């Protein structure tokens, strides 16, 4: 199914009601270690909390189905769809909805965040097929947006016609180098049913996705944005966050509203992978590797908004005060939802965080 320009479907905001949330049970040793138990426990904790307020769908294969069924609440629906890794945000469909409440998915082309140019692993065929398989399993019609390369973590919607992206990601050489910025904008407007794309220059420092938007900035309500922030001039993130703030502070959304920006500080010192954690990885040929002391792309903006909650990454230990401050700031942004702190270092070691492993299935149109 190809998206006509006038079909009336648009990408709702994440804070609008969901039909459900998609996750993928983690197993890849190059992301989650030779023993993925810690990551599986973190995914289970997230699935359990979300299952209280919406349907949770967990993708599994023949090797993970038994463990997943044993660990997960019975309310979680397992879908036997094999994938290369567990980044549901990027390989599951992007869902859109019309005013009648009908839902459709979008299957973008996936190339492991850069393909042969700078992709993170060499074999991504299962991931690339996941969006179509999910739509088929859920009985939802699916747009074929190929050959346009995009991941769900690269776009954020306010549900009212505004899409937020980073130049670092969408203009990277491994995505759609044959297209101009204007052509990419037009593609997003058509498929997402939007009226305006706001481009900010940067994401989070050392984010191996070429700096996805979902690690640096997110809409919390129409006209309201949280931005990952850094006050240390010696930290590379300082100039990146300040450059993004300069753009956003001069912008308006699709409705002409100026943006209210809430600063959400990153951890006060970088979160880095340890030697022991590095020893636990088992990388496949052609897969991006890690080194002891490597800085991870830790950000509290990588939260996920459930129907009645906001799940916030927590890094623990020396970051306890940072963790608490992030939750307190987000309580102010989401006064009607429970802000739930989630220990998330095991997810971060895979390369992303809570938002990266979740993908919302939008609900019917609000009345």
For 238-263, the pLDDT digits (tens) are 999 999 999 999 999 999 999 999 99
User: 367 in a domain, yes or no?
Assistant: no
Cα separation, 261 vs 243, whole angstroms: 13
State the pLDDT at residue 73: 97
User: 264 in a domain, yes or no?
Assistant: yes
Percent of the chain's residues with pLDDT above 70? 97
Sheet bearing 260-265, strands edge to edge: 217-221, 224-229, 260-265
Token digits for 33? 């270690």
User: 13 in a domain, yes or no?
Assistant: no
Cα separation, 19 vs 77, whole angstroms: 13
Q: Quick check: helix, strand or coil at residue 164? A: strand
Q: How many beta carbons lie within 10 A of that of residue 342, not counting itself?
A: 17
Across the chain, what does the average pLDDT equal?
96
State the pLDDT at residue 366: 46
User: 1 in a domain, yes or no?
Assistant: no
pLDDT at 167 over 60: yes
pLDDT at 80 over 60: yes
pLDDT at 367 over 50: no
Q: Quick check: helix, strand or coil at residue 354? A: helix
Q: Are 143 and 191 in contact (CB under 8 A)?
A: yes
Query: In CATH, what number is assigned to the domain containing residue 144?
Result: 3.75.10.10
pLDDT at 34 over 70: yes
Q: What is the pTM of this model?
A: 0.97
pLDDT at 128 over 50: yes
User: 8 in a domain, yes or no?
Assistant: no
Q: Are strands 359-362 and 18-24 parallel, antiparallel or unpaired?
A: antiparallel
Q: Which of 135, 142, 309, 356 is catalytic?
A: 356
* 95 DSSP β-pair partners: 105
Cα separation, 345 vs 42, whole angstroms: 9
User: 195 in a domain, yes or no?
Assistant: yes
User: 331 in a domain, yes or no?
Assistant: yes
For 110-124, the pLDDT digits (tens) are 999 999 999 999 999
User: 96 in a domain, yes or no?
Assistant: yes
For 218-236, the pLDDT digits (tens) are 999 999 999 999 999 999 9
State the pLDDT at residue 4: 57
- Whether 356 is a known active-site residue: answer yes
Domain that holds residue 318: 18-362
Q: Are 306 and 356 in contact (CB under 8 A)?
A: no
Q: How many domains does the chain have?
A: 1
């Amino acid at each position: 199914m190809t998206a006509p320009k006038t079909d009336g479907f648009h990408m709702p905001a994440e804070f609008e009601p969901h039909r459900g949330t998609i996750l993928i049970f983690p197993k890849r040793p190059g992301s989650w270690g030779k023993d993925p138990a810690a990551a599986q426990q973190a995914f289970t904790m997230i699935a359990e909390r979300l299952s209280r307020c919406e349907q949770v769908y967990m993708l599994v294969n023949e090797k993970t189905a038994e463990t997943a069924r044993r660990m997960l609440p019975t309310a979680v629906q397992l879908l036997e769809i094999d994938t290369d890794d567990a980044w549901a945000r990027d390989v599951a469909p992007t869902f859109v909805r019309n005013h009648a409440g009908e839902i459709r998915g979008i299957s973008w082309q996936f190339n492991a965040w850069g393909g042969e140019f700078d992709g993170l692993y060499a074999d991504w065929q299962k991931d690339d097929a996941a969006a179509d398989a999910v739509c088929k399993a859920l009985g939802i019609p699916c747009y074929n947006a190929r050959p346009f390369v995009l991941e769900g973590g690269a776009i954020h919607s306010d549900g009212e016609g505004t899409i937020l992206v980073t130049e670092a990601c969408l203009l990277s050489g491994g995505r759609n180098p044959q297209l101009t910025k204007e052509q990419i904008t037009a593609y997003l407007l058509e498929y997402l049913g939007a009226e305006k794309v706001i481009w900010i220059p940067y994401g989070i420092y050392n984010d191996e996705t070429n700096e996805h938007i979902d690690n640096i900035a997110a809409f919390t309500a129409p006209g309201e944005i949280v931005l990952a922030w850094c006050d240390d001039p010696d930290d590379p993130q300082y100039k990146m966050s300040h450059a993004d703030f300069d753009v956003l502070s001069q912008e308006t959304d699709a409705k002409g509203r100026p943006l209210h920006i809430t600063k959400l500080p990153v951890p006060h010192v970088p979160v880095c992978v340890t030697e022991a954690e590095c020893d636990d990885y088992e990388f496949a040929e052609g897969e991006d590797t890690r080194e002891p002391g490597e800085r991870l792309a830790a950000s509290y903006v990588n939260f996920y908004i459930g129907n009645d909650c906001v799940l916030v990454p927590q890094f623990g230990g020396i970051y306890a005060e940072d963790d608490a401050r992030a939750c307190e700031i987000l309580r102010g942004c989401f006064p009607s939802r429970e802000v739930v702190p989630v220990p998330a270092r095991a997810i971060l070691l895979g390369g992303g965080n809570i938002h990266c492993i979740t993908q919302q299935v939008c609900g019917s149109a609000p009345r």
